[in-house]
């Protein structure tokens, strides 16, 4: 094995969290920082040729190469896991910028009570209301503690939106159910495509509180505190699964790389496939990786940051035997615990008489209501806990993925009759969507697969995951609300969501997978402490949504980035002066 | 090496300009001239290509609602996809063992898209000799096969892909649905056309960039 010259800090993964940590360490300290990214370099200039639905939207050019590594999946301990052989329910990114290149940019803050989910739920409804096999936990960090970091994350990305709660003052037109914000959004809300305007007006008539989605696809040119200037959105409709060719969508390559490029103490090594973290006597010594030539290298480092996305963060800890793997039968161990996804459903498909011009839009150009989020509404008489956002986003519907949707009365899926109806409704179909919380359960977890391997012979990660009645009942309730809104919007025919049954890896939900290396206040229940520092291996930090004890409905990126800012402050201001436990 | 196969079609049968009569009926104005196009096939033999084209044309027919798979050159799209990395299963995890799973675990088969089409062509033996109704009932009888599902997906893809991939000839598919293709900005348009159709003239990626773009993974 080739032994490389040591660095002060090695960061595994070059997405939002890894590159943000590299920027903070690089700009605020003199440490030598190395980012290991297994994908390829990416630049904004590449994306102008990327407005191609087949290569990017269907063949998924920005995603991890699934032929080299995937995960296996089963519904429960009683079933056998099989590999996810082609992408479906989520899309892990690869290359510099990671999934932060191909995201939609919807940038929610989580509601304050979601950080204390277990305590607040018991307080309001009693422990008897919790699902029998739940493993919900409090985060150990509160919304108030995280608020300044949320604000920093929003300023760095230039998020567009309208505050609904400014230091406790409720503001009409924003999300009045959000936690108190210290500042207004850095840029004003995005323009409103027609379908979203129909949704906004209809939901207001029904007494709800519509607000513009908080958007990293910014509404106007913006200069962030690092001096990075980005353009305003062109509404071209090539966001999710694509990189932004004008740099309006905040991506690590257009928001962090310009700063990193000016620092001589930060280096990004692409084509570096990390296989193990080397730990001895509770100290991380560095990582081993395969380089582009297929040679195995040992990179020594004083500080190790894992920022390789939820699944790979968990897998690397398991492969490296760092910490005790979670055992769902005994409840012992923590690594791999509390795997959650997100309920993400087309709650209602609405068929209109008028054309919608759906090709115009952006990944986060849309309108939402949070009247059914979290504990905003009382669950006493309901058969589920918690909730989420009902919304419509006009991300720019492209034809290969969207042609062919027809009202339920049309029975055929090919041939002349289908074609006639599909043509008629191609630009007259609107989707009312729902994002909802996915609670954590004892039986939903990650472990190493005993059978299937990656390109280097390392075991794949195995997901054991299924929906429970809480998710099924919530989805059904929200579909009925979405149908009411669609009717008020003037839809002629409406197809409600068919219902959540078993977890299905073939239906795209969202790329929001959480858990596995969760945050918490107690070592027995979590992998990292409230600063994302490993409880035992104190020079190891695990960044990203793998820290979330459960999914709190909204999209995770902004919260993951806020937590990374908080960790960066703790490392720079405290750990470097006095290496040791941060709590 | 196999003998090179070509698909020969009348230039007037693909692409063209789509216009609408006063009563809203679509009319395709074919490209002028009476020349023929000889397209080199990369995967199919010429007879195979004609069978796939005939089946795609039943899925997305050319009828009174406008042109279909034939005018878009869907079979050329499928031929190129199967000849390229997709056809060889470059975008799938193909490590054994292959075991039967639940539908929620996704396609677990060993067969590559190429092999699925070879099998599909066996299912469609004699297809071109049948009349339209008999062709439809043959397709109905295989509706639940992996092959038919792929063929349906690929037919839609071939109708609406960027023409650099071989389908959507003359942007006929985009004209049919009013999709403008890639476009640099709608910032001035996005709030201007509430409730009425905005249909800018479609352009391909090559047209808006002013230079050709190479498809992902295509060998030189």
- d(CA A288, CA A276) in angstroms, rounded, equals 5
DSSP-derived 3-state class of residue A269? strand
A415 closest CB neighbour out of B58, B107, B173:
B58
The ipTM of this complex is 0.96
Inter-chain touch A232–B86, beta carbons under 8 Å = no
| Interface residue A323 vs chain B (CB under 8 A) | no
Q: In the predicted model, what is the mean pLDDT of residues A99-122? A: 97
| Interface residue A458 vs chain B (CB under 8 A) | no
Whether B1 shows a pLDDT value over 80: the answer reads no
Give tens-digit pLDDT for A510-548.
999 999 999 999 999 999 999 999 999 999 999 999 999
Share of chain A above pLDDT 70, in %: 100
Q: In the predicted model, what is the mean pLDDT of residues A569-583? A: 97
Whether B219 shows a pLDDT value over 70: the answer reads no
Nearest to B55 by CA among B89, B36, B78, B82: B78
| Interface residue B96 vs chain A (CB under 8 A) | no
pLDDT tier at B220 (50, 70, 90 boundaries)? very low
A191 closest CB neighbour out of B155, B157, B191:
B191
| Interface residue A249 vs chain B (CB under 8 A) | no
A residues 221-240 lying closer than 8 A (beta carbon) to B: 232-238
DSSP-derived 3-state class of residue A489? coil
B residues 125-164 lying closer than 8 A (beta carbon) to A: 136, 139, 152, 155-157, 159-162, 164
C-alpha pair distances (Å), B158 with each of A61, A190, B74, B203: 18, 34, 5, 16
Task: Give the HSE-up count for residue A184: Cα atoms under 13 Å, Cβ half-sphere.
Answer: 8
Give tens-digit pLDDT for A396-411.
999 999 999 999 999 9
| Interface residue A459 vs chain B (CB under 8 A) | no
Give tens-digit pLDDT for A138-165.
999 999 999 999 999 999 999 999 999 9
What is residue A555's predicted lDDT score, i.e. its pLDDT? Answer: 95
Distance of CA A60 to the CA centre of its chain: 17
Inter-chain touch A86–B196, beta carbons under 8 Å = no
Give tens-digit pLDDT for A332-386.
999 999 999 999 999 999 999 999 999 999 999 999 999 999 999 999 999 999 9
CATH 3.50.50.60 range(s) for chain A read 1-159+250-342+441-466+512-583
pLDDT tier at A471 (50, 70, 90 boundaries)? very high
- d(CA A243, CA B16) in angstroms, rounded, equals 32
Chain B neighbors of A88, CB-CB under 8 A: 106
What does DSSP assign to residue B127? G
Whether B68 shows a pLDDT value over 60: the answer reads yes
Is residue A515 left, alpha or beta, with left meaning phi > 0 and alpha meaning psi from -120 to 50? left
Q: Give the tokens for residue A307.
A: 């920022």
Any residues with CB less than 8 A from the CB of A509 and at least 6 apart, and which?
Answer: A89, A90, A341, A342, A343, A344, A345
User: Is the Cα dihedral A184, A185, A188, A189 positive or negative?
Assistant: negative
Q: Choose from A46, A81, A244, A357 for mutation: most chain B CBs within 10 A.
A: A357
Topology (CATH) of A1-159+250-342+441-466+512-583? FAD/NAD(P)-binding domain (3.50.50)
Q: In the predicted model, what is the mean pLDDT of residues A553-566? A: 97
Nearest to A286 by CA among A575, A572, A8, A577: A8
pLDDT tier at A310 (50, 70, 90 boundaries)? very high
Q: How far apart are the first and last CA of chain A?
A: 36
DSSP-derived 3-state class of residue A538? coil
Other C-beta atoms lying within 10 Å of the C-beta of residue A80? 11
Q: Give the tokens for residue A455.
A: 């390109």
Average pLDDT, chain B: 94
What is residue B25's predicted lDDT score, i.e. its pLDDT? Answer: 87
- The angle at the Cα of A350, spanning A368 to B25, to the nearest 5 degrees, equals 135
Share of chain A above pLDDT 90, in %: 99
Whether A191 shows a pLDDT value over 60: the answer reads yes
Whether B79 shows a pLDDT value over 50: the answer reads yes
For chain B, the structural domain boundaries read 5-209
Give the burial class of B153: count Cβ atoms within 10 A of its Cβ; 0-12 exposed, 13-18 middle, 19 or more buried.
middle
Q: Give the tokens for residue A46.
A: 């590449």
Per the model's pLDDT, the better-predicted residue between A49 and A449 turns out to be A449
pLDDT tier at B33 (50, 70, 90 boundaries)? confident
Give the active site residues of A: 512
């Amino acid at each position: 094995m080739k032994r490389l010259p040591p660095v002060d800090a090695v960061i595994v993964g070059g997405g939002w969290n890894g590159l943000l940590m590299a920027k903070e360490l690089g700009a605020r300290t003199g440490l030598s920082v190395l980012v290991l990214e297994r994908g390829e370099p990416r630049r904004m200039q590449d994306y102008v040729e990327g407005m191609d639905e087949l290569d990017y939207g269907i063949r998924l050019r920005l995603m991890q190469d699934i032929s080299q590594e995937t995960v296996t999946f089963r519904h429960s301990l009683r079933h056998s896991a099989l590999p996810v052989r082609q992408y479906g329910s989520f899309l892990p990114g690869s290359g510099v910028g990671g999934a932060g290149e191909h995201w939609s940019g919807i940038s929610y803050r989580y509601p304050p009570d979601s950080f204390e989910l277990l305590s607040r739920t018991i307080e309001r409804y009693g422990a008897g209301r919790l699902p029998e096999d739940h493993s919900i936990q409090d985060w150990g960090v509160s919304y108030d503690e995280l608020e300044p970091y949320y604000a920093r994350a929003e300023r760095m990305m230039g998020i567009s939106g309208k505050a609904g709660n400014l230091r406790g003052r409720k503001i009409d037109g924003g999300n009045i159910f959000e936690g108190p914000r210290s500042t207004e959004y850095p840029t004003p809300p995005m323009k409103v495509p027609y379908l979203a305007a129909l949704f906004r007006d209809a939901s207001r008539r029904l007494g709800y509180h519509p607000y513009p989605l908080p958007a990293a696809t910014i509404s106007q040119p913006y200069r962030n505190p690092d001096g990075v200037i980005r353009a305003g959105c062109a509404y071209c409709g090539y966001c999710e699964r694509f990189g932004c060719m004008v740099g309006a969508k905040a991506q690590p390559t257009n928001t962090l790389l310009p700063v990193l490029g000016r620092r001589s103490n930060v280096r990004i090594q692409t084509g570096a496939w990390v296989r193990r973290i080397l730990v001895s006597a509770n100290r991380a010594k560095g990582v081993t990786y395969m380089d582009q030539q297929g040679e195995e290298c040992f990179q020594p480092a004083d500080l190790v940051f894992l920022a390789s996305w939820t699944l790979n963060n968990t897998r690397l800890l398991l492969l490296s035997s760092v910490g005790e793997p979670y055992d769902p039968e005994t409840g012992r161990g923590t690594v791999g615990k509390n795997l959650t996804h997100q309920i993400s459903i087309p709650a209602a498909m609405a068929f209109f008489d008028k054309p919608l011009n759906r090709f115009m839009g952006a990944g986060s150009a849309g309108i939402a209501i949070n009247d059914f989020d979290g504990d905003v509404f009382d669950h006493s008489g309901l058969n589920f806990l918690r909730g989420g956002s009902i919304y419509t986003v006009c991300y720019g519907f492209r034809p290969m993925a969207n042609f062919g949707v027809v009202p339920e009365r049309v029975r055929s899926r090919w041939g002349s009759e289908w074609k006639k109806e599909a043509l008629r409704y191609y630009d007259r179909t609107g989707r009312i969507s729902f994002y909802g919380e996915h609670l954590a359960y004892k039986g939903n977890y990650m472990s190493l697969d005993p059978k299937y391997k990656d390109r280097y012979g390392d075991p794949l990660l195995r997901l054991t995951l299924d929906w429970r009645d809480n998710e099924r009942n919530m989805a059904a309730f929200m579909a009925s609300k979405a149908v009411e809104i669609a009717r008020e919007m003037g839809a002629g025919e409406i197809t409600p969501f068919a219902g959540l049954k078993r977890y299905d890896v073939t239906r795209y939900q969202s790329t929001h997978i959480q858990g596995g290396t969760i945050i918490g206040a107690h070592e027995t229940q979590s992998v990292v402490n409230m600063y994302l520092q490993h409880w035992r291996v104190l020079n190891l930090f695990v960044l990203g949504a793998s820290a979330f004890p459960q999914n709190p409905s909204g999209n995770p990126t902004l919260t993951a980035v806020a937590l990374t800012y908080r960790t960066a402050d703790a490392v720079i201001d405290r750990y470097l002066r006095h290496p040791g436990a941060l709590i | 090496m196999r003998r090179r196969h070509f698909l020969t079609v009348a230039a007037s049968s693909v692409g063209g300009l789509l216009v609408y009569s006063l009563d809203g009926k679509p009319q395709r104005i074919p490209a002028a001239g009476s020349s023929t196009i000889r397209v080199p096939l990369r995967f199919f033999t010429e007879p195979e290509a004609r069978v796939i084209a005939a089946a795609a044309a039943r899925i997305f027919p050319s009828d009174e609602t406008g042109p279909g798979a034939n005018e878009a050159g869907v079979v050329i799209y499928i031929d190129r996809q199967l000849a390229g990395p997709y056809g060889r299963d470059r975008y799938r995890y193909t490590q054994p063992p292959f075991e039967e799973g639940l539908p929620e675990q996704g396609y677990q088969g060993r067969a590559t898209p190429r092999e699925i089409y070879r099998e599909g062509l066996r299912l469609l033996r004699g297809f071109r000799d049948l009349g339209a109704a008999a062709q439809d009932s043959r397709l109905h009888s295989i509706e639940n096969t992996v092959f038919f599902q792929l063929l349906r997906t690929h037919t839609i893809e071939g109708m609406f892909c960027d023409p650099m991939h071989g389908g959507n000839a003359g942007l006929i598919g985009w004209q049919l649905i009013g999709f403008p293709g890639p476009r640099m900005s709608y910032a001035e348009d996005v709030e201007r056309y509430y409730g009425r159709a905005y249909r800018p003239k479609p352009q391909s990626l090559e047209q808006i960039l002013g230079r050709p773009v190479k498809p992902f993974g295509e060998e030189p």
